[in-house]
Amino acid sequence: MVRSITQILLGLMLSFGAVMLAPRGLSEVKRKNLLRGVYLLFLSGLLFVFAIFAFQSAYSGLRG
């Protein structure tokens, strides 16, 4: 139970991090700083994928 709660909190932190980085990456692309913008968007996507993995792990822990 404690592990599932920890995984849920980790997933929330990762998803909020992804949500905060995505607009910054888009604004960097708009300002013609393409390399940094693509890097931030890639990092945001990676955080989102790890958040999905954390939520899946929490779900499987709660399910049994």
Other beta carbons less than 10 A from residue 7's beta carbon = 20
Residue 3 vs residue 64, higher pLDDT: 3
**Are the beta carbons of 25 and 38 closer than 8 angstroms?**
yes
- Whole-model pTM? 0.86
32-41 residue pLDDT tens: 999 999 999 9
What is the rounded distance in angstroms from the CA atom of residue 19 to the CA atom of residue 14?
Answer: 9
For 20-55, give one letter per residue: b (16+ CB within 10 A) or e. ebbeebeebbeeeeeeebeebbebbeebbebbeebb
